[in-house]
Amino acid sequence: MKDLHNCWEYRECGRQPGGRHVGSLGTCPAATHTQTDGVNHGTNGGRVCWAIAGTLCGGRVQGTGATKLGDCLHCSFYGRVASAESTLTLIP
């Protein structure tokens, strides 16, 4: 399978544990959401970020999975994961 980046790697946001922006922006919930580890072949919530509240996308903190999914459907990372997975998990 190709292109198995997690969202923080793809977007280079630096909000993963030890990342360059953790001090100023905090750690992203997707990077530490262990309940979704392995979903869509990602680490923690790294390939199901659209279902995790509190991620920082587009320069603002996103709400719950249900309210942010509309925005995420237009995200280039979401599109990459959707095309790479034969069965995409939208909300675990």
76, pLDDT greater than 80: yes
Q: Report the run of H or E that residue 34 belongs to, with start and end.
A: none
Instruction: Determine the average pLDDT of the residues in 84-91.
Output: 76
The dihedrals phi and psi of 39, each to the nearest 5 degrees, come to -65, 130
The pLDDT score that the predictor gives to residue 23 is 94
Where residue 3 falls among pLDDT bands split at 50, 70, 90? low
Q: What is the pLDDT of residues 5-62, one digit of tens each?
A: 999 999 999 999 999 999 998 999 999 999 999 999 999 999 999 989 888 877 777 8
Which one is predicted more confidently, 64 or 18?
A: 18
Q: Identify the CA nearest to 29 among candidates 2, 50, 58, 59.
A: 50
Question: Which neighbouring-strand residues pair with 60?
Answer: 57
> What's the pLDDT score for residue 1?
52
H or E element at residue 57: strand 56-57
Question: What is the predicted pLDDT for the residue at 2?
Answer: 61
